[in-house]
Structures are given as structure tokens and as C-alpha cells.
Amino acid sequence: MARWQPDARSRLAEAALALYGERGFEGTTVAEIAERAGLTKRTFFRHYADKREVLFSGSEELEAAIAGGVRGAPASAAPLDAVLAGLDATAPFFVDRWEHARRRQEIIEANPELQERELTKMSRLADAVAEALRERGVEDPAAELTAAAGMAVFSSAFARWLGAPDVGAGLGPLLHEGARALRAVALA
């Protein structure tokens, strides 16, 4: 593959996932990723700060989408409904990405350092959701608790989506199912 071909970022990500799957995260170097993608190390570092970032790029966009969805929910929406609107805003991130997400999750689960990084990402998402709820007038501790509950719904739905043999339905229905289950438990 020639170095000038477009979409270097995607090529690097795909090469990294393949190598992490073959050799493990620790056993893969940036040079190997770049070589597999038909690019240089210099090009790698134009797109990613380090080899972990291949797995976590896009986190800022995901955070902005969730928080924006919460902020954009109807003014009459209850806090949990506003959070669900935020979670619904993540759907475009996962369209046609099941295989990528599954492979990424396997790599993260095999490495404690990456697991810690994933927890940090989820904590930042919860903080962004809580802040968006505060902007809607939800006071603490309700904003923090609702944000944490929303992230629990997201994590549960995401895990079920990754394990789903029929991925055609997508993440959205699983998010709504999780929110219904949470409401049922909270009202029980």
C-alpha cells in the first residue's frame, strides 16, 4: 500500500488492532503498526500520541455527543430521560462498528493498563453528563447519581451489544431496554 493513499488514520487503527490481536498490546511497537499500515512512524505520531491512543481516539467526540444530547433534551424531560437522550446521541458512533468495537474491547480486557484507561474515560463521560445535567438545573447529588446510572446503562448495553449474535438491532434498543430495567428497579 503506497504511503500517499488516503485515510492513514484508519489504516493505522486497523493495523494496530490486527497486531494487538496477534501479538498483544505490549508486544506491538509503533514501528510495527506503521509498517503494517504501509506508513512511517512519523505519520503514526501525526495521528496518535502513542499506541494507546489508537484505542481511545474519539473519546472527546463521544463525550461531546453525550453531553450535547443531554443539553438538547426537551426542557420537560426528567433527568434520566435527558441522559437517555445523550446516550441516544452516541448511536452514530457505533453504526457498522461492531467488529471493531468487539476487537477493541478484547484488547482492553487483556491489559490492566488499558482497563484503567477505559475506566478513566468512562469517569470523564459521567462527569460531562453530570455537568450537562447541572446546566439543566439538576442539583447534586441527583446530577452525579443520574450521570453514574446513565453510564451504568451505557456500559451494560455496550457489553450486551458486543456479545449479541444479532447485531442488526444496534446499540439503541439495548440502551432503552437498560433504562427501562433501571426504572423498574428504582421503582420496585
Q: What is the pLDDT of residues 93-122, one digit of tens each?
A: 888 888 889 999 999 999 999 999 999 999
Q: For a pLDDT cut of 90, what percent of the chain falls above it?
A: 80
- What pLDDT is attached to residue 169? 66
Q: φ and ψ at 43, to 5 degrees? A: -65, -40
pLDDT at residue 168, as a whole number: 62
Pick the more confident residue, 174 or 168: 174
Q: What is the pLDDT of residue 4?
A: 55
55-104: pLDDT as tens digits: 999 899 999 999 999 999 999 999 999 999 999 998 888 888 888 899 99
Superfamily of domain 58-187 in CATH is Tetracycline Repressor, domain 2 (1.10.357.10)
Q: What is the pLDDT of residue 5?
A: 61
Q: Which sequence spans correspond to the domains of the chain?
A: 8-54, 58-187
Write down the CATH number for the domain with range 8-54.
1.10.10.60
What does the pLDDT read at residue 1?
Answer: 46
